[in-house]
Amino acid sequence: MRSLVISSLCFLSGLSSLVSGASVPRYFESQPTTRRNLTSQEVRRELGSQVSPGTLIYGPGDAEFANLTSRWTDFSKPDVRVVIEPAAESDVSTIVKYCNHNSIDFLAIGGGHGLAYSLKKFSGLQISMRQLNNITIQGSGKSAWFGGGTVVGPVIQYLYDRGYVTTTGGCECVGMLGAGLGGGHGRYEGLYGLISDNILQLRVVLADGSAIVVSKSSHSDLFWAMRGAGHNFGIVTSYEMNIFPVGPKTWHWHNYIWRGEQLETVFGALNAFHNNGSTPVNMAFEAGNFLMDTSITSEEPVLYWTFAYRGPADEAEKLLAPFNAIDAVSSTMGDVPYSQIATAQGTSWDSAICQHGLVHVTSSVFLQVFNVTTERQIFEGFKRRAQSSPALAAGSSIMHEGYSTEAVDKIDPASSAYPFRGDHHLTLFNAVAPSPDYEAAARAWAAEVRDQWIAGQPGRKLDAYVNYANGMETVPDWYGHESWRIERLKSLKAKYDPYNRFRYYNPIIAA
C-alpha cells in the first residue's frame, strides 16, 4: 500500500566540501539544533505539506518499501531509509532543498540497475523517479520530451506504437537516464549514436535545489558534462531527445549455441565480422555469453550468441554466413517487429538478466577487438570453476557485446564527456554469488577476468564504461585518460556541485 508515512530518519550526510575555506551557503548549513533524531511525524509534517498531492513517501514499515528499494544487484545496495516518489518535476527541487536543510543525503533512482560499488556508501533518502514517466512527442515528429523516470521498455513501446524509435539501452528494464547520463548503448547506436548523443536538452535540479535548463545554448558547459558523466551533476526531471521514423517492418534475429571447442572459430569470425569497428550499420547488435547449460554439458560453459539485424532475413543471413558455417548445438532464428526484438534476444522485462535481488559480482573492460588467446584463457578459467565450484559457475556469465558503431564514431569525441568512442566491444563478467560464502571467490574471479582482458590488449589502458564499471576502477578509467577531461569535469564539479552532493555513482570526486 502506498502511504505518506516515514518510519525513521536517523541519518546525517557527510558533506565534503570541494572548496576548502569557502563559506558554506545557507542551504548547506547544518541546523543549529541537530536533526539527527527527526521523527517520522516531523518529516511528514515538514516535507509532506510542501510537495504536490500525488507525491508518495514510504518508510521501512510500508509494504512497498522492499519492492521500491530492490536492486539488480545487492552487492552494491545503498542504505535507503526513506523513499520519496515525486509526482511533479517541481517536487524534486523541494525535496533536494529539504534534504540540504536537514543534512540528509539523497539519491535519484530510475530502473534500479546501477551496479557501481560506490552506491554502497550511500545512506539516506531515495528519490524514486518512476512517477515522472510521461512522454510527449513534439508536433514536428522529430523529438519528444521524456520524464526523468522513464525506463527503456516503455519508451520503446510508446514510441513504436506511434511510428517512432529512439536510441535506448538494449535491456528493457534499464532506466533511460541511468544509462543515458553515462552514454547509453543500444541497438540504434550504429545508426543514430548513443542515448546521450540524441539528448537535445535537459531540465536539471542542481545540488542547491535550483532548477535549470541544460542544452547547447543554456549552461552549455554542463551540457557537455551531462552527456557521459551526468550522474555527478544533478537530477534530471525531464529531457528532450531526437526521435526517428520506425524503419523496416521487421528485425531478424539469429541465436546460436556452440560448444567450447568452437571458441577460436567463433571469435575469429566475430573479429572479421566487426572488422575493427566497421560493422554494417543494420547489423545492430550481437551479444555472446559463456554460460553453463547443463542440458548440454556440466563439464564446461557453452557459447550462447545472439544477433539482431535491422531488416529482412535474407540480408541478415548473408552477413551471418560465417557463423552458419560453424557447427552449432542449436541455431534458431526469426523475424519480429522492433518492439519485440528484446524478447527474441533475452533482454526483455521478464528475461533472467532483468531480475532483481541477486548478488552480482562484476567487472568490465571496453575492447577494440577480441583477443582470441585471451578468450580461450577466460573460457578455461570458467571451465575450472564449473568443476571446482559448480554453484558459483551455475549463475555466472561472461558477456561480449558488439554493436554497429558508425554513428557513435562519427561524433567528435571532444563534444561530450563520453570518452570511449574508439572502443567497440563492451564486456561484462557477471558472477552470481549464491551465498555470502561465495563472494570472495566471485571477486577473485572478476579481477582475474578483468586482468586477462587488459593483458590481451597490450599498450591500451583500462577503459571501463561508467555504466558497466564495478566501481573499483579509477576516475580516468571511467571518464577518460586524457587529463583535460578530468580537469574539466573537476572544474565543473566545483561550479555546479561544490559540496559534492552527487558522489555515489562512480564519483569524479570520491566520497
Ligand X SMILES: Cc1cc2nc3c(=O)[nH]c(=O)nc-3n(C[C@H](O)[C@H](O)[C@H](O)COP(=O)(O)OP(=O)(O)OC[C@H]3O[C@@H](n4cnc5c(N)ncnc54)[C@H](O)[C@@H]3O)c2cc1C
Binding status of residue 129 toward ligand X by CB under 6 A: yes
User: What is the chain's Cα-based Rg?
Assistant: 23
In degrees to the nearest 10, what's the CA dihedral of 5, 115, 160, 136?
A: 50
Nearer to ligand X, 125 or 235 (CB): 235
Report the chain's terminal Cα–Cα distance, integer Å.
Answer: 35
Binding status of residue 235 toward ligand X by CB under 6 A: yes
Smallest distance, Å, CB 296 to ligand X? 24
Binding status of residue 287 toward ligand X by CB under 6 A: no
Binding status of residue 184 toward ligand X by CB under 6 A: yes
Binding status of residue 456 toward ligand X by CB under 6 A: no
Window contacting ligand X (CB under 6 A); options: 42-50, 174-182, 217-225, 300-308:
174-182
Q: What's the chain's length in residues?
A: 511
In SS3 terms, 48-105 reads as HCCCCCCCEEECCCCCCHHHHHCCCEHHHCCEEEEEEECCCHHHHHHHHHHHHHCCCC
Binding status of residue 175 toward ligand X by CB under 6 A: yes
Binding status of residue 206 toward ligand X by CB under 6 A: no
Window contacting ligand X (CB under 6 A); options: 3-11, 94-102, 230-238, 453-461:
230-238
Helices (H), ranges, 259-396? 263-274, 313-319, 321-324, 341-344, 372-388, 390-394
Nearer to ligand X, 148 or 277 (CB): 148
Task: Look up cell 575492447; give the residue.
Answer: 367
Nearest position to ligand X, beta carbon: 178
Cα 454 to the center of its chain, rounded Å: 22
| Contact set for ligand X, span 141-160 (CB under 6 A) | 148
The residues facing 38 across adjacent strands are 9
Binding status of residue 480 toward ligand X by CB under 6 A: no
Window contacting ligand X (CB under 6 A); options: 62-70, 184-192, 374-382, 416-424:
184-192
How many residues at the interface with ligand X, by CB under 6 A? 33
Nearer to ligand X, 38 or 80 (CB): 80
| Contact set for ligand X, span 345-364 (CB under 6 A) | 353-354
Of the candidates 145, 81, 151, the residue with the CA atom closest to the CA atom of residue 110 = 151
In Å, what is the CA distance from 142 to each residue of 155, 241, 407, 464? Answer: 15, 9, 18, 32
User: Binding ligand X by CB under 6 A: which of 59, 86, 124, 170?
Assistant: 170
User: Binding ligand X by CB under 6 A: which of 11, 58, 65, 72?
Assistant: 72
Binding status of residue 104 toward ligand X by CB under 6 A: no
Binding status of residue 110 toward ligand X by CB under 6 A: yes
User: Binding ligand X by CB under 6 A: which of 57, 96, 99, 108?
Assistant: 108
Smallest distance, Å, CB 79 to ligand X? 13
Window contacting ligand X (CB under 6 A); options: 61-69, 113-121, 266-274, 489-497:
113-121
| Contact set for ligand X, span 302-341 (CB under 6 A) | none
In Å, what is the CA distance from 188 to each residue of 74, 98, 265, 414? Answer: 30, 40, 28, 21
In Å, what is the CA distance from 70 to each residue of 126, 337, 356, 474? Answer: 12, 31, 6, 27
Smallest distance, Å, CB 270 to ligand X? 19
Binding status of residue 505 toward ligand X by CB under 6 A: yes
380 contact partners, CB below 8 Å, separation of at least 6:
none
Cα 175 to the center of its chain, rounded Å: 7
Smallest distance, Å, CB 310 to ligand X? 16
Binding status of residue 288 toward ligand X by CB under 6 A: no
Binding status of residue 214 toward ligand X by CB under 6 A: no
DSSP state letter for 45: I
Contact present, 220 and 226 (Cβ < 8 Å): no
Nearer to ligand X, 175 or 280 (CB): 175
Smallest distance, Å, CB 133 to ligand X? 11
Give the C-alpha separation, 251 to 312, whole Å.
6
How many C-beta neighbours within 10 Å does residue 105 have? Answer: 23
Binding status of residue 262 toward ligand X by CB under 6 A: no
Identify residue 126 by its one-letter amino acid code: Q
Binding site for ligand X (CB under 6 A): 72, 107-115, 119, 129, 148, 169-171, 174-175, 177-179, 181, 184-186, 231, 235-236, 353-354, 467-468, 505
